Amino acid sequence: MEKSDSVTISVPPWVDELGDRRARFETDDARMALVIGLSQRNVDEGGGPFAAAVFQGSRLVASGVNRVLASGLSIAHGEIVALMRAQRFERDDPQPQIEGASYELFTSTEPCCQCFGALIWSGVARLVCAATTADAESIGFDEGPKPDRWTDVLEKRGIAVQLGLHRAAAQQVLGDYARRGGPIYGLRHPTIR
Amino acid sequence: MEKSDSVTISVPPWVDELGDRRARFETDDARMALVIGLSQRNVDEGGGPFAAAVFQGSRLVASGVNRVLASGLSIAHGEIVALMRAQRFERDDPQPQIEGASYELFTSTEPCCQCFGALIWSGVARLVCAATTADAESIGFDEGPKPDRWTDVLEKRGIAVQLGLHRAAAQQVLGDYARRGGPIYGLRHPTIR
């Protein structure tokens, strides 16, 4: 067991093999393809059907996959794992900056209420999503109470939002998870209640 | 540096000295007094003026303090640290359960938009707050876009809410932090932008 004064969230080695931080991702298509590939691999490995990554221009700052089931932590959504890793890498192992480029979060499904809120403080200036809230909810996940017109709320906070990029590919991953009978964790199956 | 595949959030040893998990906290007053004591100590030690703890009845499951500045992670609010530790302890080092008692989160200040969202998935069935959103914003912090009538939203999700318990004591901690010139991190001073 880890020391009682600390909590660690880890990702499996294939996350940084698929999402090689030395590679360049020159287009939004390439960035989202990585994220959806990570979400599919996470399903294949027994995790939730969600992944995310932080980019600065063509530079991959950090990838994340949903680790709720593996970590026992309800916070460990793909977006949170990617943001935590990005902030930690930028502090402890900084790579050459892409001049003039902001940090952008690509996610395989629109953020839930938790990840919506976490985005506000993250330093990210753009959010790009594939599958929609309705897509996630159609297989039984609950995205929770986001503010009305949540994309407008983000835009007002300086975070540009783009929805539906590679949506069909992300829907396939969600559908694959549902067909395999993957657990629908969240409010109905909370971590400690 | 920690391994690149993992991110760790730690708390200083005084957190579990003040919040001794073997002690019993028989009343809401005792529970909130602990949390406000932790927030004051965090200020004294150079951290943000916020703390939280998860209880199950009189049992302290886990304490947390704001670790944004120390960890470089925008997620590391007091509530998140307490929830992560509580979930991890209950999985890896479970203590005798208090029969019939739900998990309850006590926090020195009402949750921001991020912690509001994280609460939804946490397994907590009651939220008790000391200082208000307005109190935090009066010293310059931003609590972010929570849904309208956010306490009603939590209640509808099965999370009972009580506001203003020991508010004056928590306001004093916020005021102390402001007088010392503590940094107002958050959107205006994000972690990676």
Place of tokens 């109470």: A145
Tell me how far apart the alpha carbons of residues B156 and B103 are, in angstroms, rounded to a whole number: 17
B170: pLDDT confidence band, cut at 50, 70 and 90?
Answer: very high
Q: Check residue B119 and give its pLDDT.
A: 97
Q: State residue B90 phi and psi, 5-degree precision.
A: -65, -25
B193: pLDDT confidence band, cut at 50, 70 and 90?
Answer: very low
Q: If we measure between CA atoms, which residue out of A127, A128, A125, A129 comes closest to residue A101?
A: A125
A192: pLDDT confidence band, cut at 50, 70 and 90?
Answer: low
Task: Using the predicted structure, report yes or no on whether residue A15 has a pLDDT greater than 90.
Answer: yes
B179: Cβ contacts below 8 Å, ≥ 6 apart:
none
Cα four-point dihedral sign B183, B32, A7, A121 = negative
Q: A5 CA to chain B: closest CA distance, Å?
A: 5
Task: Using the predicted structure, report yes or no on whether residue A32 has a pLDDT greater than 70.
Answer: yes
Amino acid (1-letter code) at residue B61: V
B192: pLDDT confidence band, cut at 50, 70 and 90?
Answer: low
| B105 in Cβ contact with B126 (< 8 Å) | yes
CB of B5 within 8 Å of a chain A CB? The answer is yes
Task: Using the predicted structure, report yes or no on whether residue B1 has a pLDDT greater than 50.
Answer: no
Cβ within 8 Å of A, B 10-69: 10-13, 15-16, 61
Q: Check residue A185 and give its pLDDT.
A: 78
CA distances from B124 to A88, A101, A120, A192, B102 (A): 28, 39, 23, 8, 7
* Mean of per-residue pLDDT scores for chain A: 94
Task: Using the predicted structure, report yes or no on whether residue A35 has a pLDDT greater than 50.
Answer: yes
Residue in A7, A93, A147 nearest the CB of B84? A7
CA B122-B26-B132 angle, to 5 degrees, is 55
Contact A122 B147 (CB under 8 A): no
Place of tokens 């704001």: B66
Task: Using the predicted structure, report yes or no on whether residue B46 has a pLDDT greater than 80.
Answer: yes
Q: Alpha-carbon Rg of chain A, whole angstroms?
A: 16
Q: Which of A17, A38, A50, A87 to mutate to test the interface with B (most CBs of B within 10 A)?
A: A87
Q: What is the pLDDT of residues B115-133, one digit of tens each?
A: 999 999 999 999 999 999 9
Residue in B2, B87, B113 nearest the CB of A73? B87
Q: What is the pLDDT of residues A54-92, one digit of tens each?
A: 999 999 999 999 999 999 999 999 999 999 999 999 999
Task: Using the predicted structure, report yes or no on whether residue A2 has a pLDDT greater than 70.
Answer: no
Cβ within 8 Å of B, A 74-113: 74-75, 80-81, 83-93, 102-103, 112-113
Task: Using the predicted structure, report yes or no on whether residue B7 has a pLDDT greater than 80.
Answer: yes
A4: pLDDT confidence band, cut at 50, 70 and 90?
Answer: confident
CB of A5 within 8 Å of a chain B CB? The answer is yes
Q: Which of A60, A73, A119, A148 to mutate to test the interface with B (most CBs of B within 10 A)?
A: A73
Helix residue ranges, H only, chain A: 13-18, 28-44, 68-71, 78-92, 113-120, 133-138, 150-156, 167-179
DSSP B150-170: HHHHHHHTT-EEE--TTHHHH
Q: Check residue B188 and give its pLDDT.
A: 47
